[in-house]
Structure 1
């Protein structure tokens, strides 16, 4: 009696990687991962609504409120006991909707490990092993760069508000609408965070072989000009402080990316030299072959003559009473 053979059960990742999953199974997996990601964001939203939304709103309003407090102290040298930050709300539901938006943004940040993992688990089976390795590195570098851009934007707003509000005449009271003010800060933080991802594009050009490190270094004048032009448009204040801060950060990150490109090119050249020697990519490698000496052949034995063939007997005619089969 033959024993049953136990087959090793493939994981869902292996089945998606080798292409054995059907279209319906892929759709079911996508639905499952979207549901898990949404549940993670929902849990983060509940936590941020009750614990983090109000502190985050207070932190976003702090640059404007601190400046208003400073201006009130400069004008009257003391604050009244009932002094409040002069922020306005124009609609009955505006602040409620604003708090929901802030809670959702914080929830996306809190639940980022969950929905990023679900996204990666759905995409990773279609990538090669080295592509997955580079994806880990790029995601690991993109998160701190985006966070650094958001912090830089908040710092620029803190310094730029004083310059902008200094043009307000004395007979005009400054009362900003809270929804527009918070949208202004968050949009600027998003813009600065995305801008600081540009060095990753430079590194991607080098990793994929589209541009060498020397070519990237040759573009530094154009890159610096574009950085300053972008900073002049992106920063909300016309003073040179915010523009210079963003442009200098982008320039430093660009040269850091070029330095990484030089290291990557050196590693790639060492590997190519180990495999192909000193032959360039556009050169034909020399053919190396050893010439073996040809020894003298021995004498050839004589072939005996063929025997004389025997004559074939002539067959009898069919009218003799038999043929070849009878």
Structure 2
């Protein structure tokens, strides 16, 4: 094949990947729109659930809003975030369909495991944020500097903080899945991950400091699980490498 033909073939391959990415993004958008519409019907109940972690620290038990559209927009945001969460298996399937062409045929059989593990990890991260990190963060932030000053927190401010924490923790808990996919695609190896462990931990520490509230306990509550999840990812990559090596030896004998 000439260099021109190789370039054309490569260009066509890139075009196909971009077309596939567009299709998966469109499908994911449709999924989120439908899920958001469903969640909007339950937005008031969801709002009560979301408000619970900070409610004990609010003088009147509720958040404030200063604009006529603030509360309506808050319910839209709540519905959207919940739509992301409940539709997690569906858009994770779209992610898998995009990366699957770069995997071996044997590894493509893990579709169900990818979706289940990805969903559980995302929900685990969001739940960890809601029931562990946020109560500790609010206890520190709302009691800092004494009890003379009283909080008047707007709906928009609280939802921005709450959404950032839950989604960031949900995405962060996908770390072993991301590492496993990179290992399956041959981008990283178990040896590489072990050699770069100290740099990975440093990066995770910086990310934890940026994402979490400005107190040491919240940072550690994110950093420790992230380090454990990184080690799980390293272990899983090793399993895939050993399986691939065993399959290669069998093929050589045949």
TM class by shorter chain equals 0.7 to 0.9
Tell which has more relative contact order, 1 or 2 (C-alpha 8 A, sep 6+): 2
* CA deviation string 1:10-33 (max 9, x = no partner): xxxxxxxxxxxxxxxx9xxx6xx9
* CA deviation string 1:110-138 (max 9, x = no partner): 45566666x57986997775564345443
The question of 1:138 aligning with 2:114 is answered yes
Contact 1:37 1:114 in 2 (8 A): no
The 5 A counterparts of 1:45-64 are: 45-50=36-41, 52-64=42-54
Alignment partners' CA distance in 1, 2:100 and 2:196 = 37
The question of 1:91 aligning with 2:91 is answered no
Give the total of aligned pairs. 231
The question of 1:253 aligning with 2:246 is answered no
Q: Shift in Å at residue 35 of structure 1?
A: 8.7
* CA deviation string 1:210-268 (max 9, x = no partner): 33323322322222222222212211132x22111211111111111122222222222
Alignment partners' CA distance in 1, 2:121 and 2:167 = 12
The 5 A counterparts of 1:30-41 are: 38=30
Q: Shift in Å at residue 85 of structure 1?
A: 0.9
Aligned to 2:13: none
Aligned to 1:268: 244
Contact 1:124 1:132 in 2 (8 A): no
Indicate the structure (1 or 2) with the bigger Cα radius of gyration.
1
Instruction: Find 2:217's aligned residue among 236, 241, 254.
Output: 241
Alignment partners' CA distance in 1, 2:174 and 2:28 = 28
Structure richer in helix, relative to its length: 2
* CA deviation string 1:151-188 (max 9, x = no partner): 22222111111111222444422111111111111011
Contact 2:194 2:234 in 1 (8 A): yes
Instruction: Find 2:129's aligned residue among 138, 153, 174.
Output: 153
Contact 2:40 2:76 in 1 (8 A): yes
Alignment partners' CA distance in 2, 1:36 and 1:231 = 28
Aligned to 1:166: 143
Q: Structure 1 stretch 41-50 or stretch 226-235: which is displaced more?
A: 41-50
Aligned to 1:79: none
The 5 A counterparts of 1:59-208 are: 59-68=49-58, 84-111=60-87, 119=94, 129-130=105-106, 132-154=108-130, 155-208=132-185
Q: Shift in Å at residue 102 of structure 1?
A: 1.2
Alignment partners' CA distance in 2, 1:139 and 1:35 = 16
Residues 191 and 97 of structure 1, relative CA distance in 2, 3 Å threshold? same
Alignment partners' CA distance in 2, 1:201 and 1:180 = 31
Residues 221 and 123 of structure 1, relative CA distance in 2, 3 Å threshold? closer
- Partner of 1:175: helix, strand, or coil? coil
Q: What CA RMSD, in Å, does the superposition of the two structures yield over aligned residues?
A: 3.5
Contact 2:89 2:119 in 1 (8 A): no
Alignment partners' CA distance in 2, 1:88 and 1:97 = 13
Contact 2:63 2:154 in 1 (8 A): yes
Residues 209 and 125 of structure 1, relative CA distance in 2, 3 Å threshold? closer
